[in-house]
Structure 1
Amino acid sequence: MNDFLPDALRNGESRTVEFKAELPKESAKWIKSIVAFANGAGGSLVVGVNNKREVTGIPKSVDLFELKDSIADTIGQMCTPQIIPDISAETVDGKQLLLIQVYPGAATPYYIKSEGKERGTYIRLGATTRKADWATLDELTNRGRNCFYDELPYSNIPVTDDDVASLCRVLSGQAKFEITKKDLYNLHVIRKEDGKDTATNAYAILLGKHDFTSRIQCARFRGTDRVFFLDKKEYEGPLCEQVDLAYKFVLNYLSMAVEINGLVHDEKYELPVAAIRELIINAAIHRNYQMSSSIQVAVYDDRVEISSPGSLYGTLTLEEAVNGRSAIRNRTLARVFEKIGMVEGWGSGLKRIIAMSREYGIEPPEFQEIGDLLRVNFYRPTYKDNKTTQETTQETTQETTLKLNDSQKLIVSYIQKNPAATRAEMARNIAGITEDGIKYNLKILQKNNVIKHVGSTKKGQWIVTGAAE
């Protein structure tokens, strides 16, 4: 038996596996999956297995040699550019199967001739085959030409001295050394065409002036689903600044404890912050900027979730990505972020994040392809100990005290000056925190004896006990 089949039968259909009990008489119904495999990471169509993973087999009355020839001929006649599959007969539990293996294509987009390029181009999204939308078709076309979207000209804005100076200032601030206009040329952020400076998509994205939604949306939700907002922010502007602001947003809602070991005070977040930052940077570099949706960073009681528009690029699979292989969707952005020191090297990001998590003593993040987006779930270890708070509550022999986040510091400061303040009053006067956010943080502060409320709800007062750092 082919080594691939046991795993396929155990794991079921996926981006690279599809089962058919038999080939439909209408060839287009299965040819579209052949096209989709060629446009992506390759894949295998297994004939003789139903969608419940039951091996039904191909009737022994069928001449497999004739069937193989017929399949190869149909693929050759119906698909363009040419797709050459590897078709083999296999036996499982005494039953005949056909395995049609398709390799990743370099001449994308592949499509069904009779339907034309715009209507006949298909891709795999998870375990389903879908028609490519215009953004995906455009990306496939660029890939087939060995072009990168972020390096293509962007005609909607001119290259001005003010914008160049602003971008160089932002990049220099990150790099800790001077980035000049010459560097922007060398990195292909700006191009010369007919003696004139021409903007690229990367130039517009880095400046935060791209037409498409190149922004990062952040939210803190109560509980473990997207029902009740406690806080939300949307960051625009230069891409590097968006990354920094999103990173700070997450840190503001992570628990942090001060561990006292003798004379040494160690401060430690519940999740490795370097890994959080790298995940946000990866999303900014590798997202599909031709899609109109935004990067979304969500903090829940049990996890930090980062969703990036666009599935894995090109022929890359999830297994390959977590093992260190990389496929660069935005080559210029990757070069810029490497130049300014925000990433260490291409292809090592996810593998390094997994290593950082293990060194930290926690489970590595969960990586998922969900439709046309890539999602990372970083589970919070404190949730196992207390499902409703953001504090670190590990039972150790070390003494711990609550480390206040920025929102909690603002609330405590306001209460010290206005002990009779209500939640509504705090929400009106403390910038950036909703009334739900006030309520949520007050609960944490009270539970940890940082503050307490005495008297009635309407006429009572807040008292700060000082049991925090």
Structure 2
Amino acid sequence: MDTQNKIKTMILKESETLELKKSTSELKEAIISISSILNKHQKGEVYFGIKDNGEIFGQDISDTTLREISKTISDHIEPKIFPKIEKIIINKKSCIKIEFHGKDMPYFAHGRSYMRVGTENKQLTVKELENIILHKNKENLRWDNQVCEKASLKDVEKEKLLTYLKKSGLAYSSIKDSLERLEVLSDKKILNAGVLLFTKNPRKFFKSAKLRCAVFLNNDSSIILDRKEFEDDVLSLIQKAQDYVLEHINLGMKVEGLYRIDIPEINIEALRESIINAFCHRDYREYESVEVAIFKDRVEIRNPGGVYGDITLDQILKGQAPVERRNPLIADLFKRISFGEKWGRGIKLILSKEPGTMFKSFPNGFITIFKRKETTKKSSKNKGVGKGVGKGVGNLSVNELKILDLITENHKITKKEMSRILTKKIVEYNIESLKFKGKLRRIGPDKGGYWEIIK
């Protein structure tokens, strides 16, 4: 009786979770609405005997009517649901109320799938249906929280684990207990994220666990000056990627007191954040590795796997994107040791430090592009740097400084002798660069001549 009194004063209006039907002659349409609401909200209500404007119309109802509704729902909605179907009285008129719920999306009505949009039922496209299935199975489809069947506790390098625990402020008890505390162990089996961070050789288990770096002569990849590949745990690879870039880009210099301070042409915080993002958010199911490509006019940080989830790069750049992470366990492990910002905020940090940075996202990859800066004019403020070669050097790369140091020690040193320390291409490229910048010139022939550093 109380329920009926409440219904007497209730004003019903169609919404994303409520559907009104004049009579059970519209049962087929109601079935579609039920599946549509389930796919959007996982629960809802349908009333028969009420017009879509909320007017109570009523209808004749028998036990057979209720059984037929139940059977029709059972026959035409997949997966099966078990709704509550009851006869109710509203304003002295008989109506039917159906309450339903379910989380086994996607639901199909008469063999098709729909999504509630306002008070309408929109048939889903193949892509939209695929996204629902992926979202539903997101945890099962994740890579970082899966067990690595081939790895065991014997593969864990204790020193790597101890270093990580110290950085994260956690105490060490045993390898097993420590991994369990970090949530990278399941039934004595190491999860993929744990293998990446703590094993002796992660690439033994995952061929994609590597870093590729290259320096190119011009603005394209036609001539390679240097190329290296690194294999290690993911934290070490992040450091190696950063070191490689800093070794091959220009360094500005300033003197504070008696000390020289190097200023890379690309902000270190922005560079490091982009490298961390590449390893944290990459798709580890893809065979390709994270790549660092250094061109004459730019530096690119590339990783397999584009922007993850239903968000777009444009939404991220505008700050409109909800947090969706491809590898949340890896991200949490990074966060414990203050590696990286939250997804979306990392890009904001990069842009705050390097406003000209560009980003490109593809279905199978993501690229961060830093513009390289023009070499600045020499400055008298840089006197007294290094071994006497740093006077007014302006912006020079690490390799250029190495060559100047070698020449300072032996001004008759040959390119061949330098190539025993650096590669032939690096020597040739950087000597030409130093000549172009007005820092170096050759006096006399190749044999019998010498180098002169221009102060």
TM-score, shorter chain, exceeding 0.5: yes
C-alpha deviation, 1:249, in angstroms: 0.8
Report the CA distance shift for 1:143/1:437 in structure 2 as closer, same or farther (over 3 A): farther
Q: Cα offset for 1:413? A: 3.1
Could you tell me how far apart the structure 2 residues matched to 1:78 and 1:440 are?
67
The CA distance in 2 between the partners of 1:225 and 1:263, in whole Å, is 41
Bigger shift: 414-423 or 306-315? 414-423
2:224 is aligned with 1:229: yes
Distance of 2:257 and 2:182 partners within structure 1: 50
CA gap of 1:170–1:221, structure 2 versus 1, over 3 A, is farther
Question: Within 2, Cα distance between the matches of 1:349 and 1:212?
Answer: 27
**TM alignment of 1:393-408, pairs within 5 A:** 393=377, 401-408=393-400
Q: Which position in structure 1 is the counterpart of 2:21?
A: none
| Gap regions ≥5 residues in structure 1 | 1-37, 39-74, 90-98, 111-139, 383-390
Instruction: Measure the CA separation in 1 of the matches of 2:172 and 2:230.
Output: 24
More displaced stretch, 231-240 vs 172-181: 172-181
Aligned to 1:308: 303
Matched residue type, 1:282:
N
TM-aligned CA deviation for residue 247 of structure 1: 0.4
CA contact (8 A) 1:304 1:378 kept: yes
Q: TM-score, normalised by structure 2?
A: 0.63
Q: Work out whether residues 215 and 294 of structure 2, in 8 Å CA contact, stay in contact via their aligned partners in 1.
A: yes
Cα distance in 1, alignment partners of residues 395 and 406 from structure 2: 17
1:432-462 CA-to-partner distances (Å, cap 9, x unmatched) read x321111111123334444332110233222
Query: 2:432 aligned with 1:463, yes or no?
Result: no
Contact 2:211 2:290 in 1 (8 A): yes
Higher relative contact order (CA 8 A, sep 6+): 1
Query: Secondary structure of the equivalent of 2:115?
Result: coil
1:339, distance to aligned residue in structure 2 (A)? 0.4
Query: What residue in structure 2 maps to residue 453 of structure 1?
Result: 442
Q: Which residue pairs with 1:337 in the alignment?
A: 334
SS in 2 for 1:369: strand
Partner-residue secondary structure (3-state), 1:374: strand
1:233 deviation in Å? 1.5
Equivalences for residues 120-135 of structure 1 within 5 A: none
Under a length normalisation based on structure 1, what TM-score does the superposition of the two structures give? 0.61
Query: Does the alignment pair 1:241 with 2:233?
Result: no
1:200 matches 2:197: no
Residues 1:410 and 1:356: Cα distance change in structure 2 (over 3 Å): closer
The verdict on how the C-alpha distance between 1:163 and 1:282 changes in structure 2, with shifts beyond 3 A counting, is same
Structure 2 unaligned segments of length 5 or more: list them.
1-38, 40-105, 383-391
**AA aligned opposite 1:379:** K
SS at match of 2:272: helix
Aligned-pair Cα RMSD in Å: 3.8
1:327 corresponds to:
324
CA distance in 2, matches of 1:106, 1:338: 33
CA distance in 2, matches of 1:186, 1:323: 37
Given candidates 412, 419, 423, the residue that maps to 2:404 is: 412
Counterpart CA distance in 2 for 1:175 and 1:154 is: 24
In the TM superposition, what whole-angstrom CA distance separates every residue of 1:103-162 from its partner, at most 9, and x where no partner exists?
98697575xxxxxxxxxxxxxxxxxxxxxxxxxxxxx488445553111100122112x6
Equivalent position of 2:273 in the other structure: 278
% identical aligned pairs: 24
Q: Does 2:149 match 1:155? A: yes
| Partners of 1:397 and 1:422 in 2: CA distance | 29
The 3 A distance-change label for structure 1 pair 270 and 80 is farther
- d(CA) in 1 for partners of 2:294, 2:164: 28
* Equivalent pair of 1:270/1:380 in contact (CA under 8 Å): yes
Aligned counterpart, 1:374: 366
CA gap 1:178/1:276 in 2 versus in 1, 3 angstroms: farther
Larger of the two Rg values belongs to structure = 2
SS at match of 1:82: strand
The alignment partner of 1:381 has SS state of: coil
Cα deviation for residue 352 of structure 1 reads 1.7
Moved more, 287-296 or 415-424: 415-424
Report the AA paired with residue 381 of structure 1.
K
1:78-157 alignment, distance < 5 Å: 82-84=113-115, 108=131, 140=134, 143-145=137-139, 148-157=142-151
CA contact (8 A) 1:293 1:309 kept: yes
